[in-house]
Amino acid sequence: MEYSSYVVPALSGAFPSRTKTRIPCFEMNANLTRIVSKEQERRQLHYDPNAINVFKMMSSPPVLMNNNSSYSLYAVQIAKFAIPLTKPCIVYIPKGIPYKFLNATKENLNLCRIRYVLT
């Protein structure tokens, strides 16, 4: 089991993939996160083929209110599914599944990452 800090920079994933605006890169430990193809790199998807990853969000995410409905400013994409993060939670990423975190705020999103290596 390994512990590390995982930072999702401000406005990460908040731009369309074909925009000419420079998209912020993830800050990561190169030994823990891998990118397998140019398409995954373009879409900022990561995967870990050797371990289960568990991310713990430490603080409450801000919520944007609009006409009696709320929009989450944080989300996680696991494979082809995007899940809004509306409260502090734990995110489980199975071994070998592509994922990315989205952050549409002006502040970095700090997560605690626990990596379970399967042998």
Per residue in 47-76, pLDDT (tens digit) is 888 899 999 998 888 767 666 556 778 889
Helix (H, G, I), strand (E, B) or coil at 42: helix
Residue 94 has pLDDT above 60, yes or no: yes
Question: Residue 100 belongs to what domain range?
Answer: 2-117
The two counts, helices (H) then strands (E), for the chain are 1, 9
Q: 42-73 as b/e, with b when 16 or more CB fall inside 10 Å?
A: eebbbbbeebbbbbebeeebeeeeeeeeeebb
Q: How many domains are contained in the chain?
A: 1
The CA distance from 91 to 89, in Å, is 6
Tell me the per-residue pLDDT of 1-41, one tens digit each, with 9 for 90 and over. 888 888 888 876 655 555 454 444 443 444 444 555 666 66
CATH of the domain at 74: 2.60.120.10
